[in-house]
Structure 1
Amino acid sequence: MSEPTPPTLAAQFAQRLLERDAPPPPPSQELEAVLDRIQAWLLPPGGTRDTRTHRRQARMLVALMQHPERSTEQLTAASGLEWRAGSRMSLVLFERGLTHRERRGRYFYHRLTRAAEDALLLVVAG
């Protein structure tokens, strides 16, 4: 039995070009992968010590992506946070300019800003 002939330089080069030009696989749309991308987007350029805060914020942003407007209580519940943490995180998102906040009676209602919507679409799509 003879040894298989090694591929020629041209065949190797053609294969490399095929791999180079092939589109990358689309990013995962699983919730955890989306949360990871949003969390990375929220991190400041210098990084942070408290990644848990950014994960909470990412969950709140996903909740607002799923429903255009939520009260603080609804947003907190949809994010799976306790009331105090949810209230604090919703305020941080507002201060960062990612959400609008409107008071109606006793409640604050939150929705994404247009800039946040545009940015998050790119982040989620990958």
Structure 2
Amino acid sequence: MEPIPDPLVTQFARHVATRDDPPPYVPPRQDREAILQRLDAELRRLGVRLSNRRLTLARLCLALAPHPRRTSVQLADELALSRQTVVAAMALLLPPGYVVYEKVGRHRYYRYTRAGEDWLLPLLTGEPAPAA
């Protein structure tokens, strides 16, 4: 008859055998709330201090994402904001070079730059940004 191993020894042996294994992969949340939280944190890092302005800008980022370009009027209508609010909020993404606009007549057509797309994609997916 074989001796019954002590559960403490078995548990400790299992711990030692697996201690260098990476933790199991847990995919990041990709629901709207999680995306808005990641955008909020990133916009805070960029220096946008007012929480309502960060939320407006985060919503604008999401509204612009699926389109090649949008006017400030289209964005304002989609989010029930004034055109002036859209223009003021989007102006915060111009200096880092994430967004540019082209003026055609009375309208400003906003679009993401390549740098803006590279900035936004990890925020949407929750995956870490590739090393620059």
> Would the TM-score normalized by the shorter structure come out above 0.5?
yes
Partner of 2:129: none
Partner of 2:43: 42
Counterparts of 1:91-102 in structure 2, within 5 Å, are 91-102=91-102
Partner of 1:117: 117
- The Cα RMSD (Å) is 2.3
1:33 aligns with 2:34: yes
Displacement after TM superposition at 1:16 (Å): 4.3
Partner of 2:7: 5
Gaps of 5+ in 1: none
After TM superposition, the runs of 4+ consecutive aligned structure 1 residues lying more than 6 A away are: none
Contact in 2 for aligned 1:76/1:87 (Cα 8 Å): no
TM-score of the superposed pair, with normalisation by structure 2: 0.76
Q: Give the aligned length.
A: 120
Counterparts of 1:2-81 in structure 2, within 5 Å, are 5-6=7-8, 7-18=10-21, 20-23=22-25, 25-44=26-45, 49-81=49-81
Partner of 1:84: 84
* Higher Cα radius of gyration: 2
- Identical columns (%): 32
Contact in 1 for aligned 2:40/2:58 (Cα 8 Å): yes
TM-score of the superposed pair, with normalisation by structure 1: 0.79
Gaps of 5+ in 2: 1-5, 127-132
Displacement after TM superposition at 1:87 (Å): 2.6
Following the alignment from structure 1 to structure 2, what is the Cα–Cα distance between the partners of residues 30 and 54?
Answer: 18
What amino acid maps onto 1:123 in structure 2? L
Judging changes above 3 Å, is the alpha-carbon distance between structure 1 residues 15 and 79 closer, same or farther for their aligned structure 2 residues?
Answer: farther
Following the alignment from structure 1 to structure 2, what is the Cα–Cα distance between the partners of residues 104 and 95?
Answer: 21
Following the alignment from structure 1 to structure 2, what is the Cα–Cα distance between the partners of residues 60 and 48?
Answer: 14
